[in-house]
A and B are shown apart, each in its own frame.
Chain A
């Protein structure tokens, strides 16, 4: 298992990794959201020993902490992962093809990157300009809109999040990967 945090602060990530023995990497520039078309977290990818993808992007929680809210339990996925690791068996949805990022979603990632750059250079006004552009380009992408919330002084577990959640539900829960529910 390789965990990659799509976060800005190493110290914040460290708060969640106590006792974890597998590698935890930090992707401050969100490179893997481009390479794998990741649009929400947690997203898991099953990768064979030779680098072939056995099962592409899927939203799978690590725990049942939010099961009442999301309706997705961690147990079936963890059982399926164990079966795959031991016997190589891949579920039918492993064959799902992941839709490529559209041009606006690529531009949103670039705008987000510019925002991070200005935020790191202590230029909050320029940062806000680009965060706003990024969110307008990809309003239902959680790695853009929700990820920007704490960086723009907004609460990622507050009203703005529930607003996004409602919009995302109404839009048919778009996700780059294995569809859920």
Chain B
């Protein structure tokens, strides 16, 4: 076991795990802590949402779970930095399709310049102009 760093939309999580090629073995608790999904009899679940797991062999290895296979099942892509034991995980693609195809603006929570967190949803109830800009 080693310390792995997992980069997701909500931040950086340090969990115990082991990387073997493209398999990242972690405990069920570490899976939930990092990507927020929990393996239950009905599938991989986050809140009320569950994704059925048809082939548990792809995800479950003894008492460990493969973080990469679990992420893929929930629509996320992964990229592993083997030398540094860091795994970057994308937002689930259904969330982006909800924005692009379903035309429902995906919610996000980000800090303002004083570090105070705000969500897009906080400004619901009136028309909003979202502007992505940069200093570069």
Contacts and interface: CB of A to CB of B under 8 A. Distances in A.
A180 to B, nearest CB: 16
Contact of B133 (A3, A10, A15): A3
B7 A114 contact: yes
A162 to B, nearest CB: 14
Given A52-B103, A113-B7, A2 B127 contact: no
A178 interface: no
Looking at B93, B113, B130, B132, which has the most chain A CB atoms within 10 Å of its CB?
A: B132
B77 interface: yes
A132 interface: no
B97 A29 contact: no
Interface string B77-104: 1110101101011110101110111011
Contact of A2 (B78, B128, B134, B136): B128
A2 B77 contact: no
Q: Number of contact residues on B: which range applies?
A: 35 or more
Contacts of B129: 1-2, 44-47, 81
Nearest to A176: B100
B27 interface: no
A114 B81 contact: yes
A107 B79 contact: yes
Interface string A30-47: 011111111001111111
A111 B130 contact: no
Contacts of B77: 103, 106-107, 110
Nearest to A101: B96
A75 interface: no
Given A31-B9, A35-B95, A118-B84, A47 B130 contact: yes
Looking at A7, A113, A146, which has the most chain B CB atoms within 10 Å of its CB?
A: A113
Contacts of A113: 7, 79, 88
Contact of B130 (A16, A45, A130): A45
Interface of A: 1-7, 9-10, 12-17, 23-27, 29, 31-38, 41-54, 56, 62, 81, 84-85, 97-101, 103, 106-107, 109-111, 113-114, 117-118, 123, 126, 130, 143, 146-147, 149-150, 156
30 contacts: A2-B118, A2-B128, A6-B132, A17-B113, A23-B112, A25-B118, A26-B111, A31-B108, A32-B110, A36-B96, A36-B100, A36-B132, A37-B99, A41-B133, A42-B132, A42-B133, A43-B132, A44-B129, A46-B129, A47-B128, A48-B127, A50-B124, A51-B105, A56-B100, A110-B77, A110-B90, A117-B86, A126-B81, A126-B84, A143-B134
Interface of B: 5, 7, 9, 11-12, 77-79, 81, 83-84, 86, 88-91, 93, 95-97, 99-101, 103-106, 108, 110-113, 118, 120-121, 123-136
